[in-house]
Amino acid sequence: MHQKERTRKRENTMKALVINGPNLNMLGIREPGIYGTETYETLVQICQDAAGDLGFDGVEVFQSNHEGAIVDRIQEAYGSVDGIVINPAAYTHTSVAILDALKAVSLPAVEVHISAVEDREDFRQISYAGMACFARVTGEGLQGYAHALKLLAEKLAK
């Protein structure tokens, strides 16, 4: 076991990381018919409230429009968080690098999407990141993040 992971295991806390990909910072402005009218700040609040209710000791909600920054954040999660909720947004359908980063850190991860991606265009039907996730939540709007955190908490409790 790597030193960082050993240290983590000694700490009896449960920390979550929520990762959001490109254009999710534009919530409220961006295609409201698909993504709703609530803002990114509301999404952060939903994650913080849900994490508190579920007994997480901390949650960081991270957003980037850059694939490499998302890969960096996943790598940094190794040994410092217990699980990940990830909406890679458009990178869901293109990024082997994000898939490989999730596999590299091997943390329990839940894939979440605001919209019902399964009912949308063909190019949205593949999910690379999803191949490294144990569960998927789609089409539940911003509350889907609370659902995803619940699934993560249940997995970590096992």
The answer to whether 114 is annotated as binding is yes
The token pair that represents 48 in the structure block: 């913080």
Q: Which residues contact 40 (CB under 8 A, 6 or more apart)?
A: 20, 24, 25, 26, 27, 28, 63
Q: Is 20 in the site for ligand DHK (CB under 6 A)?
A: no
The one among 25, 64, 87, 95 contacting ligand DHK by CB under 6 A: 87
Q: How many Å apart are CA 49 and CA 2, to the nearest integer?
A: 32
With respect to ligand DHK, which residue has the nearer C-beta, 68 or 139? Answer: 139
Q: How many Å apart are CA 63 and CA 73, to the nearest integer?
A: 10
Query: How many residues form the binding site for ligand DHK (CB under 6 A)?
Result: 10
| Binding residues among 27-66 for ligand DHK as defined by CB under 6 A | none
The answer to whether 93 is annotated as binding is yes
With respect to ligand DHK, which residue has the nearer C-beta, 11 or 41? Answer: 41
Q: So which residues are the catalytic ones?
A: 35, 113
Q: Which stretch binds ligand DHK (CB under 6 A): 51-59, 60-68, 113-121, 129-137?
A: 113-121
Q: What's the CA dihedral at 152, 11, 76, 42 to 10 degrees?
A: 50
Q: How many Å apart are CA 32 and CA 48, to the nearest integer?
A: 23
The answer to whether 100 is annotated as binding is yes
- Alpha helices per DSSP H over the chain: 3-10, 32-35, 40-53, 67-77, 96-105, 143-157
With respect to ligand DHK, which residue has the nearer C-beta, 14 or 25? Answer: 25
Q: Is 89 in the site for ligand DHK (CB under 6 A)?
A: yes
Residues linked to residue 59 through DSSP beta bridges, in sequence order? 16
User: Which positions touch ligand DHK (CB under 6 A)?
Assistant: 23, 87, 89-90, 92, 113-115, 117, 124
Residues in the annotated binding site: 87, 93, 100, 114-115, 124
Residues in the annotated binding site for substrate: 87, 93, 100, 114-115, 124
